[in-house]
Amino acid sequence: MTSPQAPAVELAGVAKTYRSGTTAVRGLDLTVHEGEFFSLLGPSGCGKTTTLRLIAGFEEPTAGEVRLHGTRVTGVPAHRRDVNTVFQSYALFPHLSVFENVAFGLRRRRVPRGEIAARVGAMLETVELTGLERRRPRELSGGQQQRVALARALVNRPRALLLDEPLGALDLRLRQAMQVSLKRIQREVGLTFVYVTHDQGEALTMSDRIAVLNDGRIEQVGTPREVYERPATRFAASFVGTSNLLAGEVAEVAAGRAVVVHGADGRIEVPVRGAVARGRRLELAVRPEKISLGRARPGGGLCGVRGTVTEVVYLGTATNYNVTTSAGADVVVFRQNAASADEVAARGDEVWLSWEPDHSYALETAR
């Protein structure tokens, strides 16, 4: 067995400029560990598919190198790389039965016939397609096709499985069911997954680690919790979940915290790394569910900002309050509707927003 921290897929300074002149990927450095569920998360066109194609061997990087299990694979054609892909469009072979689709990779590798039958049968059982062996892809529903695509890749026992928005074409309910079974299969097989998605919810619930991509660059790599609780950049903060962005001048810096003045009387404490100059403008973010609403100015070392409620949106289990701060920033506050609680504020009310200093985080200024 390989150690859990052994690198399965490594990208070192990988860049890709297409012949058309489009630069899709600009210097990626990434390490995906053995057995890890690793997600590439980012908006459309940020280079996720390109990154996956570079790993699979359909494209060669214009700079940097790709390593699979420590071996440099530059120039190794796709068919000799020990990875398999689940394509966004599935790309099932229309002229072959489900069985033959799944057996395709094994036949190319000259696995003995008996073993092929056994492995394909077992794999179809895993993805719950037993009995459909003889069907053609076009005789299957979307969800069934998706599972054939998954089985066709998994049956080869690749050292890493590359998945390009594999659930993108499914409706919400099926998608949630497939998320659960994908995660289960991944855990059972103990396989390395490199999973491309633009759905932040999907990335947060399924991944061991996430790389947030924007415009061909990595904004942040971390566990779902790290990425959600401590977004490193403004982009990561706004792309993953909802973030309230606030800005102000640094009034003092002490013990790894900066005090930022927001508006006339707003005072926010925020943890900072390294030295921050006094008087500098600092941008920070707070999640909606971390903020409390109150009538009085908060004490006890809490951050406090004054504002006016502009909208109250009742959501059933919770209520969203839209507040404009005294400095003109728009903030959303998310509040669970507890058993006895009435609305704590109505439209037009003056309120104080408060939260723990550790729940606000400074954002790196734009590069």
Partner 1 sequence: MPFSRRLAPYLLVLPGGLWLAVFFVVPVAMMASLSLQTGNLIDGFRQTFHWQNYTDGLGTYGDTFVRSLWYGLLATILCIALAYPAAYWIAFRAGRRKSSYLLLLLIPYFVSFVLRTVAWKLVLTDNGPVLGPLRDHGIVPSDFHVLDTTTAVVAGLTYTYLPFMVLPVYVALERLDPRLIEAAHDLHADRTAAFARVVLPLSLPGVFAGVVMTFVPASADYVNAEILGGPRNTMIGNVIQAQYFDDGAYPVASALSFTLMAILLAGIFLYARALGTRGILDTPTP
Ligand X SMILES: Nc1ncnc2c1ncn2[C@@H]1O[C@H](COP(=O)(O)OP(=O)(O)OP(=O)(O)O)[C@@H](O)[C@H]1O
Q: What are the DSSP E strand ranges found in 159-297? A: 160-164, 193-197, 209-214, 217-222, 244-254, 257-262, 266-271, 281-286, 292-294
d(CA 354, CA 308): 14
> How many of the chain's residues bind ligand X (CB under 6 A)?
13
Closest CA to 237 of 120, 321, 152, 362: 362
Note whether 214 binds ligand X by CB under 6 A: no
- Which lies closer to ligand X via its Cβ, residue 69 or residue 217? 217
Binds ligand X (CB under 6 A): choice among 8, 14, 15, 24: 24
Shortest Å distance, C-beta 114 to partner 1: 19
* DSSP category for residue 23: E
**Which residue's beta carbon is nearest to the bound ligand X?**
49
Q: Which of 30, 35, 38, 47 binds ligand X (CB under 6 A)?
A: 47
Specify the stretch interacting with ligand X by CB under 6 A; choose among 45-53, 133-141, 169-177, 254-262.
Answer: 45-53
- Maximum separation of any 2 CA atoms in the chain, in Å: 77
Provide the minimum distance between the beta carbon of 39 and partner 1 in the complex, in angstroms, as a whole number. Answer: 20
Calpha distance 49→352 (Å, rounded)? 45
Q: Tokens for 282?
A: 């600092």
DSSP annotation of 365 reads P
The binding track of 117-156 with respect to ligand X, each residue x by CB under 6 A or -, is ----------------------------------------
Q: What share of the chain is helix, strand, coil (3-state, %, to 5)?
A: 25, 35, 40
What are phi and psi for residue 148, nearest 5 degrees? -65, -45
Q: Looking at 9, 11, 49, 200, which residue binds Mg ion (CB under 5 A)? A: 49
Q: Does 33 bind ligand X (CB under 6 A)?
A: no
Q: By CB under 6 A, is residue 163 in contact with ligand X?
A: no
CB nearer to partner 1: give 147 or 152: 152
Strand order in the sheet with 217-222: 83-86, 160-164, 193-197, 37-41, 209-214, 217-222
Interaction between residue 198 and ligand X (CB under 6 A):
yes
Q: How far is the CB of 88 from ligand X (least distance, A)?
A: 7
39 binds Mg ion (CB under 5 A): no
Question: Does 50 sit near ligand X (CB under 6 A)?
Answer: yes
Binding site residues, ligand X, CB under 6 A: 18, 20, 22, 24, 42, 44-50, 198
